[in-house]
Chain A
């Protein structure tokens, strides 16, 4: 399979720093993260709570809760291409006011986002049909209410909601968790975005429903030809959804490589340790090797490698002296570790 960097770039994130300024101190939730998202390709982001994976996505959408959060450095360039015309505009979303008209024309239209808990993005007071068609009406003034409703029903059918003619008038609480997640996907996709961001969209779902939603997202991604940024703590789920995977820990990218490389040839001690610590459904049953210790305090300022305190291959005097750079050790395989 061709590497993603042969595709046109859609989003370039450069040295992103998003900090949270709290009474107790500053949390460097995202601290120098760089990566690209390419047209039509899937980037998986894995990491544990506090690694900055959600805040990275929120920064792209400019929906970081502020205060206390703020994007203090870096750039996020989005390549806006009008369908068919070939015209291209590059916008640094970090330079835009967070609630101005420009970012609002990008959010929802060029980038759709789905969350873990559908109830956080669906209003309990409006029917799902009204909420989905609202998105369409805001972003395209030429669309009439009648047309919006028709397109909403069509989209509900595409995301697998049964009897869409009737359920278009349902309220979120009348739907099951899986159906709400489908409605949220319909809302994210109604404007035909170039990128869909999924932030743990299946974590709250049951196993068989999760499988349905994962299959649905994959199918819609192919149908719409859009890019996917898929965020999860679950390595096996991310493995199914992604062409490339980015492993994050405490606000930094520790490893970035193709999905095959992350699965078959992980290099960073954190990635290797993650693999040894998770139970899987297949293969030999061996005793799991836990990652020792626990996550450092989010307020801690760590001078060297952020994984140092838990790493089983650390070199004192080297790894805790200066931060390791993210280095490309093989084509398309980047690692932040002094071992390489």
Chain B
């Protein structure tokens, strides 16, 4: 567990990403899809912060705003690295490319995230080349070291993506991310597209690399079991909002947000396989272009009261390190695992 007292590597303050929606022949802008709407979160150096949520919860958009693949609509991202304080949301030009060396991404689909016309050497070497970090013999040397670290072999250097299996392709994607010695790696569903027997290889590789290089991970996934395996802390997102954040074990055994409880109840558990129906939470997530005025989970929440329909709850620290945005957080006793 990383030391909470040290200053965070990353401070995310009220981050927003709204995508405009247009309609009709004239493509008039009619509103916004609020993919991420006011997310505040700290990431400690060396930790793995797991971000769980269902599709449309904004977890991927959050990751992409933090790595500046998207320009956020509002809010701030501060990164403290090597004695510098970077205002990530305002970076431009040279400063932005310098930042990209420090924050890298691993993508879900190992098939579409690699250029089929580039060899492993070219793919993994490209970040070094574009950042002017190495060239020629030195570049080859660094790429070779890196691919050995991720469990590939020297003879793979000249091969193209099509000759690799899904698991090996994901290793190439990981090598490409770590070759520039980043501090932060945002891994967006890195094992979801892989076969069951391959997932553990990649998860263990990520854990080993973290140990070896002191990496900080933002690990985005829809699978609670995977997030449980890799994370120190877990953040739960729903409809663009951060609804709960806490230390892993605390969040799993004592969830404080009704959505977290519903999510945990929905996951099939080997020990409960003989209990008939599960009484899962009904309904579906709200339309992000037309959110309810109050709490975003209110339409599906079995505990909702009048206040939940009227006011959007703020994220508050209910116990040291445990944050939740729910009007009833203090009065509910929710069931965990």
- A residues apposed to B, CB below 8 Å: 48-49, 176, 178-179, 206-212, 214-215, 218-219, 233-237, 239-240, 259, 263, 273-274, 277-283, 285, 287-291, 294-295, 310
Contacts and interface: CB of A to CB of B under 8 A. Distances in A.
A210 B266 contact: yes
A236 B270 contact: yes
Nearest to A277: B200
B57 to A, nearest CB: 9
Given A208-B280, A212-B282, A294-B167, A280 B54 contact: no
Contacts of A208: 54, 262-263, 266, 280-281
A206 B196 contact: no
A294 B165 contact: yes
B268 A237 contact: yes
Interface in B200-227: 200-201, 203-204, 222-226
A137 B304 CA distance: 45
B265 A211 contact: yes
Given A236-B270, A239-B268, A277-B197, 20 more contacts: A48-B197, A176-B284, A178-B284, A179-B284, A206-B222, A207-B222, A207-B223, A208-B263, A208-B281, A211-B278, A214-B278, A215-B278, A218-B276, A233-B195, A273-B197, A282-B269, A288-B200, A289-B200, A290-B198, A291-B201
Contact of A279 (B168, B229, B273, B284): B229
Contact of B337 (A209, A281, A288, A310): A281
B198 A294 contact: yes
A291 B197 contact: yes
Contacts of A214: 268, 278
A255 B268 CA distance: 22
Contacts of B266: 207-208, 210-211
Given A236-B268, A236-B270, A290-B197, A218 B277 contact: yes
Nearest to B337: A282
A289 B337 CA distance: 23
Interface in B90-124: none
Contact of A263 (B203, B229, B265, B270): B270
Interface in B261-312: 262-271, 273, 276-278, 280-282, 284-285
Nearest to A176: B284
A226 to B, nearest CB: 17
Contact of A215 (B200, B222, B226, B277): B277
B171 to A, nearest CB: 11
Interface centre among A212, A236, A277, A279 (most CB of B within 10 A): A279
A221 to B, nearest CB: 11
B149 interface: no
Interface residues of B, number: 42
Given A48-B196, A263-B270, A290 B222 contact: no
B334 to A, nearest CB: 15
B284 A207 contact: no
19 contacts: A48-B196, A207-B223, A208-B262, A208-B280, A211-B266, A211-B278, A211-B280, A212-B280, A212-B282, A218-B276, A239-B273, A277-B200, A279-B199, A279-B226, A281-B252, A281-B264, A281-B269, A281-B337, A283-B271
A211 B282 CA distance: 10
Contacts of B167: 294
A278 B277 contact: no
B195 A280 contact: no
A48 B200 contact: no
B256 to A, nearest CB: 18
B55 interface: yes
Nearest to B54: A206
A165 B214 CA distance: 58
Contacts of B273: 236, 239-240, 259, 263
B270 A215 contact: no
Contacts of A234: 196, 268
A215 B278 CA distance: 7
B197 A288 contact: no
A207 B267 contact: yes
B270 A239 contact: yes
A259 B223 CA distance: 23
Nearest to B57: A206
Contacts of B267: 207, 211, 236, 281
A191 B327 CA distance: 48
B228 interface: yes
A253 to B, nearest CB: 17
A278 B223 CA distance: 12
Nearest to A286: B229
Contacts of A277: 196-197, 199-200
Contacts of A236: 267-270, 273
Contacts of A179: 284
Contacts of A211: 265-268, 278, 280
A176 B55 CA distance: 12
A153 B112 CA distance: 41
A290 B264 contact: no
A294 B229 CA distance: 22
A103 B199 CA distance: 39
A315 to B, nearest CB: 21
A243 to B, nearest CB: 11
B160 to A, nearest CB: 17
Contacts of A48: 195-197
Contact of B54 (A207, A237, A281, A291): A207
7 A-B pairs with the lowest CB-CB distances in the bound complex, closest first: A206-B54, A211-B266, A290-B200, A288-B200, A211-B280, A279-B229, A291-B197
